[in-house]
């Protein structure tokens, strides 16, 4: 295995959770060791056969400088994930240090090692909706999801007419794809419920279609069909086959995904649903 080394990449990002760490970006120092099994460049001497460390470095710079993190562990994990999944590295070691983070020490940090098999995690698709300050609450929900899990993809946003209770504002609906080590029940309890509570979700026992700050549902989980929790909840979400505001954003993310019970692609499911009350918006939550 060839090992490409990128040493002492010095960047600034928002990292930490203490009050003094939230107001201004801080220095981080990043070292990368990237493993490449192919190793053709040593035989051919052709630049196109070499691992493109410049492209990787640009991606790491963009990731670090455009994000916020509470822990160096999360920062290191997001870098490792990008290098392995986006650039097909066979191995990566990521070292992230914060200079001056501890008295009497030059720096404090972490080193992690990852390979492709480390990312064989649960892939889930979530549907999000809001009609109370929807742009602000959807953006906050995405930010909180990034803190709890690995956010892999974000669908376009659609304005949709309310269902069941017409005397309320239209909804903004979208979907995201995530990776998580949790099972559906713990993801619902520890991630979804905590985000909905943080964003002020209130449930009206007399009107299940009432306005809401945020609504997050697990629509799909790997390629499984299952029941979980005390309600119980069903995966796939039955609404995926019933409503365009659920199926269309999911199809944007994974058009060829075969619905586990219907046996049809999400593209086919979405194409068969009425969507005249939906309008795609030019909002980018990425």
Instruction: Indicate which CATH number applies to the domain containing 229.
Output: 3.30.70.560
Supply the pLDDT for residue 211.
85
- Together in a domain, 82 and 172: no
Which of 86, 119, 152 corresponds to the end of one domain? 119
Which of 94, 119, 144 corresponds to the end of one domain? 119
Active site residue 98: yes
Predicted confidence (pLDDT) at residue 38 exceeds the cutoff of 80? no
Closest Cα to residue 109, out of 97, 99, 100, 95?
Answer: 97
Bridge partners, 45 (sequence order): none
Predicted confidence (pLDDT) at residue 218 exceeds the cutoff of 90? yes
Task: Look at residue 286 and tell me if it is in a domain.
Answer: no
Mean pLDDT of the chain: 89
Supply the pLDDT for residue 20.
66
Which is more confidently placed, 105 or 281? 281
Task: Look at residue 257 and tell me if it is in a domain.
Answer: yes
Model-level pTM? 0.65
- Together in a domain, 162 and 65: no
Burial of 208 from C-beta contacts in 10 A (0-12 / 13-18 / 19+): exposed
* Domains: count for the chain: 2
Burial of 245 from C-beta contacts in 10 A (0-12 / 13-18 / 19+): buried
- Together in a domain, 17 and 142: no
- Together in a domain, 169 and 235: yes
Which of 102, 119, 136 corresponds to the end of one domain? 119
- Together in a domain, 154 and 264: yes
Domain residues for the domain of 80 are 2-119
Q: Which of 98, 177, 188, 231 is catalytic?
A: 98
- Together in a domain, 24 and 37: yes
Supply the pLDDT for residue 157.
96
Task: Look at residue 144 and tell me if it is in a domain.
Answer: yes
Task: Look at residue 189 and tell me if it is in a domain.
Answer: yes
Strand 150-154 relative to strand 122-130: parallel, antiparallel, unpaired?
unpaired
Which is more confidently placed, 286 or 188? 188
- Together in a domain, 140 and 88: no
- Together in a domain, 73 and 163: no
Predicted confidence (pLDDT) at residue 40 exceeds the cutoff of 80? no
- Together in a domain, 241 and 127: yes
Spatial contact of 15 and 76, defined as CB atoms under 8 Å apart? no
Helix (H) or strand (E) holding 7, with range, is strand 2-15
pLDDT digits (tens, 9 = 90+) for 150-194: 899 999 999 998 876 777 789 999 999 999 888 999 999 999 999
Supply the pLDDT for residue 52.
85
Say whether 106 sits in a helix, a strand or coil. coil
Spatial contact of 153 and 90, defined as CB atoms under 8 Å apart? no
Strand 26-36 relative to strand 122-130: parallel, antiparallel, unpaired?
unpaired
> What's the rounded Cα separation, in Å, for the pair 42 and 36?
12
242 token code pair: 């019933």
Task: Look at residue 29 and tell me if it is in a domain.
Answer: yes
Task: Look at residue 70 and tell me if it is in a domain.
Answer: yes
150 alpha carbon, distance to own chain's centre:
4
> What's the rounded Cα separation, in Å, for the pair 241 and 262?
8
For the segment 134-144, the average pLDDT, to the nearest whole number, is 95
Show Cβ contacts of residue 247 under 8 Å, excluding neighbours closer than 6 positions: 240, 241, 266, 269, 270, 273
Least trusted range by pLDDT, from 24-28, 71-75, 122-126, 209-213: 209-213
Show Cβ contacts of residue 140 under 8 Å, excluding neighbours closer than 6 positions: 198, 199, 214
pLDDT digits (tens, 9 = 90+) for 56-77: 999 999 999 988 888 899 999 9
Supply the pLDDT for residue 244.
94
pLDDT band at 46 (very low <50, low <70, confident <90, very high): confident
Which CATH number do you get for residue 48?
Answer: 3.30.1130.10
pLDDT band at 21 (very low <50, low <70, confident <90, very high): low
pLDDT digits (tens, 9 = 90+) for 226-256: 999 888 999 999 999 999 999 999 999 999 9
Supply the pLDDT for residue 184.
93
105 token code pair: 């020490």
> What's the rounded Cα separation, in Å, for the pair 91 and 42?
18
> What's the rounded Cα separation, in Å, for the pair 181 and 142?
18
pLDDT digits (tens, 9 = 90+) for 49-58: 788 889 999 9
- Together in a domain, 110 and 153: no
- Together in a domain, 95 and 127: no
- Together in a domain, 84 and 225: no
Supply the pLDDT for residue 117.
83
Spatial contact of 157 and 96, defined as CB atoms under 8 Å apart? no
């Amino acid at each position: 295995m060839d090992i490409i080394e990128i040493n002492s990449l010095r960047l600034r990002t928002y990292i930490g959770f203490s009050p003094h760490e939230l107001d201004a970006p801080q220095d981080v120092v990043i070292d990368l060791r990237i493993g490449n099994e192919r190793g053709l460049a040593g035989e051919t001497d052709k630049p196109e056969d070499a691992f493109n460390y410049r492209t990787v470095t640009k991606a790491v710079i963009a990731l670090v400088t455009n994000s916020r993190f509470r822990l160096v562990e999360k920062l290191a994990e997001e870098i490792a994930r990008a290098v392995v999944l986006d650039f097909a590295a066979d191995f990566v070691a990521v070292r992230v240090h914060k200079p001056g983070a501890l008295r009497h020490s030059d720096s404090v940090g972490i080193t992690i090692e990852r390979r492709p098999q480390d990312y064989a995690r649960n892939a889930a698709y979530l549907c999000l909706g809001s009609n109370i300050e929807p742009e602000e609450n959807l953006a906050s929900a995405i930010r909180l999801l990034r803190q709890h899990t690995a956010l892999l993809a974000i669908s376009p946003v659609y304005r949709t007419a309310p269902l069941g209770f017409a005397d309320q504002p239209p909804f903004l609906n979208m979907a995201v794809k995530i990776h998580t080590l949790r099972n559906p029940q713990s993801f619902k309890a520890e991630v979804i419920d905590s985000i909905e509570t943080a964003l002020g979700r209130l449930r009206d026992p007399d009107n299940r279609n009432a306005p809401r700050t945020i609504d997050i549902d697990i629509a799909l989980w790997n390629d499984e069909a299952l029941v979980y929790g005390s309600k119980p909840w069903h995966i796939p979400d039955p609404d995926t086959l019933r409503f365009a505001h659920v199926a269309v954003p999911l199809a944007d993310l994974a058009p060829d995904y075969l619905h586990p019970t219907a046996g049809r692609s999400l593209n086919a499911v979405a194409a068969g649903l009425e969507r005249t009350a939906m309008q795609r918006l030019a909002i980018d939550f990425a």
